[in-house]
Structure 1
Amino acid sequence: MTIRTATEEDWPQIWPFLSRIIEAGETYAYRTDLTTEEARDGWLMRPPARTVVLEEEGRVLGSATMGPNRPGRGSHVGTASFMVDEAVRGRGIGRRLGEHVVQWHRDEGYRGIQFNAVVETNLPAVHLWQSLGFEIVGTVPGAFCSRAHGYVGLHVMYLALGS
């Protein structure tokens, strides 16, 4: 498995699993009627941000975006988003992407990473981020409308990277 910078040519492999994840309505607050062009423009980040794919034998299994959480005076804290093809979940792809994102932020000199909206019922993600050192610093009650669970909280999670 290889992690590399995503290109426009990767989009036809990213879009199918990204759209299924959005449509499922359990982990991301994106509109369910996003067009492929809107989603591509929002997912494929430009510097200083970055989008990567994790691939195996030419097949994209997952993708992550990373970069500053806020512009200007908040740009020393990063953020990230992750999507893993449901067909390959349980193979450590999310962990590999998460470790890559943490290291990238360290290498780029960020002081921390803030995840703004981790759905509290997305237990695999919550446990993964906690195992990588992230803490839940707050939960916004009822901020996400899950298809399966109704209104649930969104965790804000944070990992300090140093000074």
Structure 2
Amino acid sequence: MKEIDIRPASEADFDAMWPIFQEILATGDKFPFEDGSREACHAYWFGPAAKTFVAVLNGGRLLAMYKLVQNQAGRGAHVASASYMVSPAAQGVGVGKLLGRHSLEQARRDGFLAMQFNYVVSTNVGAVVLWKKLGFEVAGTLPKAYRHQKLGYVDAYVMYRLLDDPNEWRQ
């Protein structure tokens, strides 16, 4: 039986994370990064503000990763944000949904009231559908904000969901 474990990422995971990062960036249809260097990848996933997790199949092959961060400082610090990358070889089998659920639970454990995605590419239909299934709403549309590698300029969405009732939430 296949078992997927989601656990905190370690430096030892980086060599397996790097090719996923490269593959995702090469498609030019999901992330705005121009610098796809190994150093930029490491800084993104292991920067000081990032709390990074990996999904591993049967204790071995790394399938995906996500990072959880504070969306804003100060008076916006109660809202989390996250980024996700699933290996193209592992897409379409529910790994993204597992990561999404895990990140929502982790954000609650970390004391966040809400989660916001600042830049979901509108043509990334799988992601948009998944986030809506997990309770996110499109809070805003950024017209032609993303330069898609094949389609040219397309919209990006800001997506948002509460994790708790604001009237019951304890800071």
Deviation per residue, 1:36-58 (Å, 9 max, x gap): 012111112445x4100000131
Match of 1:156 in 2: 158
Matches within 5 A, 1:68-107: 68-107=70-109
Given that residues 68 and 78 in structure 1 are in contact (C-alpha distance below 8 angstroms), is that contact kept between their aligned partners in structure 2?
yes
Given that residues 45 and 51 in structure 1 are in contact (C-alpha distance below 8 angstroms), is that contact kept between their aligned partners in structure 2?
no
Runs of 4+ in structure 1 displaced over 3 angstroms? none
Given that residues 25 and 36 in structure 2 are in contact (C-alpha distance below 8 angstroms), is that contact kept between their aligned partners in structure 1?
no
- Bigger radius of gyration: 2
Match of 1:54 in 2: 55
Shift, 1:34, TM fit = 2.5
**Distance in 2, Cα, partners of 1:148 & 1:34:** 18
Provide TM-score, normalisation by structure 1: 0.95
Match of 2:169 in 1: none
RMSD: 1.1
Q: Which residue of 40, 43, 48 corresponds with 1:41?
A: 43
Q: Which residue of 4, 15, 18 corresponds with 1:15?
A: 18
Structure 1, gaps ≥5 residues long: none
Between 137-146 and 100-109, the greater mean CA deviation after superposition: 100-109
Match of 2:118 in 1: 116
Structure 2, gaps ≥5 residues long: 167-171
Q: Secondary structure at the match of 1:41?
A: helix
Change (3 A) 1:156 1:28: same
Q: How many residues align?
A: 161
**Distance in 2, Cα, partners of 1:108 & 1:42:** 20
Provide TM-score, normalisation by structure 2: 0.91
Given that residues 45 and 65 in structure 1 are in contact (C-alpha distance below 8 angstroms), is that contact kept between their aligned partners in structure 2?
no
**Distance in 2, Cα, partners of 1:6 & 1:109:** 20
Give aligned-pair identity as a percent: 39
Deviation per residue, 1:94-113 (Å, 9 max, x gap): 00000000011111121100
Match of 1:135 in 2: 137
Deviation per residue, 1:110-141 (Å, 9 max, x gap): 11000000000000000000000000011000
